[in-house]
Amino acid sequence: MDLMDQFETYLSSTVNQGIDHALLVKTSKIYTAPWVRIKCTFGCRGYGKSLCCPPRTPSPDEMRKVLDSYAYAILLHRIWRKGYKDVDKLNETAVDLERTLFLDGYYKAWALGSGPCSRCETCNTDGLCINPQKARPSMEACGIDVFGTVRECGLPIHVVKDHSEERDMYCLVLIE
């Protein structure tokens, strides 16, 4: 069976759940860079306020090692149209896909989210995550260059100049 055929059910299932694109990509085509994490550190007001944000997430070098321990990933794309409900739907779909893949025998399946974790009103940063089954760090929080990766895959992404603009959001589910 061809690799694409093997994962077609998962790709089409996510699109049927309202995801705009689901694409199988080689993990060698996922870019990591130290500057990405610096932007979290010095550009995000959520820095350090979540167990899913730096400094508690893998460094770009650590993430590269994680990516290199997988051959493929499913890149999920959803256009932000209705606000935070769209990003929540995307993140939920990624975690649900991770679980489905795991239960189907892909025991290494692991999802990375889009944007800061919003599972709890206030994160329990002094202890353990109270939603570990659903909370995932974002790709950026782990040093993944989302713009470079997405462009390499031929999917749309642009710099948002105003918060009222539609934007492209992405999640990643690592598989082996």
Extract the tokens encoding 94.
């990624």
Taking only the tens place, the pLDDT of each residue in 45-89 is 889 899 999 999 999 999 999 999 999 999 999 998 876 778 889
Question: pTM for the whole thing?
Answer: 0.94
Domain spans of the chain, in order of start: 3-175
Confidence of residue 165 (pLDDT cuts 50, 70, 90): confident
Following DSSP, what letter does each residue of 65-132 receive, concatenated? Answer: HHHHT-SEEEEEEEEE-STHHHHHHHHHHHHHHHHHHHHTT-TT-EEEBSSS--SSSS--TTS--S-T
Q: What is the pLDDT of residue 97?
A: 97
